[in-house]
Structures are given as C-alpha cells and as structure tokens.
C-alpha cells in the first residue's frame, strides 16, 4: 500500500492518498481546492492512477478539491454520501470501493452532518473518520443537521466497535497530532468516553465560532467545489 497524509494549513485539513503499490490505482480522501496542485504532483510523481476523489461529508470550513481533480484527471470519479451534493457516485452504509486489490468500506456515521461517512481499510487496519471522530475530540454538532445524540451513537456503535489497534486518521487536527487509535480514543477522548447525556451536554455548550470559510464552502461543496 502507498499512503500519504497531507495537510492544508488554513483549515487544518488532512487529505489522504491511498494506492495499491502494484497496480498504482489510487483514491484521495478529502482534498482541498487550494492544495490540488500539490496533490496532483504527488499523484503524478508516484505514477498513480486516481480512480476516486472522496469527500467524507459536505465540508463547511474549506472548498473541496474533488471537482478540480476530476478536471485534471480524466476518469476520476467523485464520491460522497450526502444525496443533496453533486457527485458521480453516492454511497451508502456498507458500500465498498476497490482500487487495485485494495478495498475500502463505508460506514454511515452521521451526527456532525447528516451525510457523514467514515472509511475503513481493513487491510491497513485504518479508519478515516472525517469530522465524526477527531483526535481527543469530535465534529461539532451545531449546524448542518448536527445532532449530538446521533453522533454519540454513530461513534459508539460503528467506530468504537472496531479493534483497538485500528489507526484513526481524522479530517482535521488543530493541535499538531496526526493519528490515534481506536483503543486510545475509547480511553482518552474527553467527550466520547463520557455517558451519552454528558456528551450531549458538552456538545451543546461548545460555543464555537463558525468556520471562517463557511459561506463560501457550503454552496461550493454541494457542486463538487467547482461550477461546470
């Protein structure tokens, strides 16, 4: 497996590239429009064939790079779960996609937004959690149909039931951390290690300012980041 974790610093977003080392078939998870040229260079330098550009949800804090990547790489298909967002493929709970002999499986993990998915790669013992589960945190639940009770259930029934040694790769980190594990987050996550009632109380009192790019990002991300 070829693996890259790439960072976009304005929105503190992680973009991931995964590829089958033999066939060079590749996927990208949560690309950001401002760093498409960097990601495109990585893809070309490594001789990868990008099959899918996947968004874990309709992002509110940055514009997705998936539409621009599709323009640059003929044959690349955009993928999302949210039925309101434009994409080539709309996936659902339990769906799988292949790249070479590698496989990913989608878990529906709503609560941060309605259409949030987490992506499991069992052969790499890894889960890409989008904004559902962050390192020692989780996605906010105060807009985009956010629902703290639903997020708690998503994480506890879909994510925390994976083996403790699975690596957690989030869509963001604001503290300089890159990854965690299921076991660590079950034990040390200050929000999700609490009871559901305590979690809902915490989430309803975060009082976070809205993301700086929200007004630009939400409409753009409903059309893959670019108007055709």
Ligand X SMILES: N[C@@H](CCC(=O)N[C@@H](CSS)C(=O)NCC(=O)O)C(=O)O
Q: Which residues bind ligand X (CB under 6 A)?
A: 11, 60-61, 131, 137, 139-140, 172, 208, 211-212
Residue 101, contacted partner among ligand X, Fe ion, none, CB below 5-8 A by kind: none
Nearer to Fe ion by Cβ, of 82 and 131: the residue is 131
At a CB cut-off of 8 Å and minimum separation 6, what does 123 contact? 1, 102, 103
CB of 74 to ligand X, least distance (A): 30
CB of 140 to ligand X, least distance (A): 4
Strands 77-80 and 49-54: parallel
Report CA dihedral (24, 38, 130, 186) to the nearest 10 degrees: 80
Among 30, 39, 82, 131, binds Fe ion (CB under 5 A): 131
Q: Angle at CA 177, nearest 5°, toward 79 and 106? A: 25
CA distances for 83 relative to 59, 88, 90, 119, 130, angstroms = 14, 11, 7, 17, 17
CB of 59 to ligand X, least distance (A): 6
Question: Of all residues in this chain, which one has the CB nearest to Fe ion in the complex?
Answer: 131
CB of 182 to ligand X, least distance (A): 19
Question: What would the two tokens of residue 122 be?
Answer: 């069992």
Residue 74, contacted partner among Fe ion, ligand X, none, CB below 5-8 A by kind: none
Nearer to ligand X by Cβ, of 149 and 211: the residue is 211
Residue 218 is inside which H or E element, if any? helix 214-221
Nearer to Fe ion by Cβ, of 113 and 189: the residue is 113
Residue 67, contacted partner among ligand X, Fe ion, none, CB below 5-8 A by kind: none
Q: Which of residues 1-20 bind Fe ion (CB under 5 A)?
A: none
First to last CA, the chain: 34
Nearer to ligand X by Cβ, of 37 and 215: the residue is 215
CB of 126 to Fe ion, least distance (A): 20
Q: What count of Cα atoms within 13 Å lies in the side-chain half-sphere of residue 90?
A: 8
Q: Provide the 3-class DSSP secondary structure of residue 70.
A: helix
Q: Which residues bind Fe ion (CB under 5 A)?
A: 131
């Amino acid at each position: 497996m070829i693996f890259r974790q790439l960072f976009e610093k304005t929105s503190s977003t992680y973009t991931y590239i995964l590829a089958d080392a033999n066939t060079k078939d590749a996927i990208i998870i949560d690309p950001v429009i401002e760093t498409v040229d960097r990601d495109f260079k990585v893809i070309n330098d490594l001789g990868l064939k990008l099959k899918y550009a996947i968004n874990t949800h309709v992002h509110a804090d940055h514009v997705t790079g998936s539409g621009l990547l599709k323009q640059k790489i003929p044959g690349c298909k955009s993928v999302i779960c949210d039925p309101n967002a434009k994409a080539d493929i709309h996936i659902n709970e339990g769906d799988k996609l292949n790249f070479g002999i590698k496989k990913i499986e989608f878990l529906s993990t709503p609560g941060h937004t309605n259409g949030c998915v987490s992506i499991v790669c069992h052969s790499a013992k890894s889960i890409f959690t989008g904004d559902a589960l962050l390192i020692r945190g989780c996605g906010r639940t105060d807009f985009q149909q956010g629902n703290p009770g639903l997020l708690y259930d998503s994480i506890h029934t879909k994510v925390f039931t994976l083996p403790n040694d699975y690596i957690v790769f989030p869509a963001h980190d604001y503290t300089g951390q890159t990854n965690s594990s299921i076991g660590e987050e079950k034990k040390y996550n200050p929000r999700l290690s609490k009871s559901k009632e305590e979690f809902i109380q915490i989430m309803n009192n975060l009082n976070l300012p809205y993301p700086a790019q929200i007004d630009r990002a939400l409409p753009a991300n409903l059309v893959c980041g670019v108007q055709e």
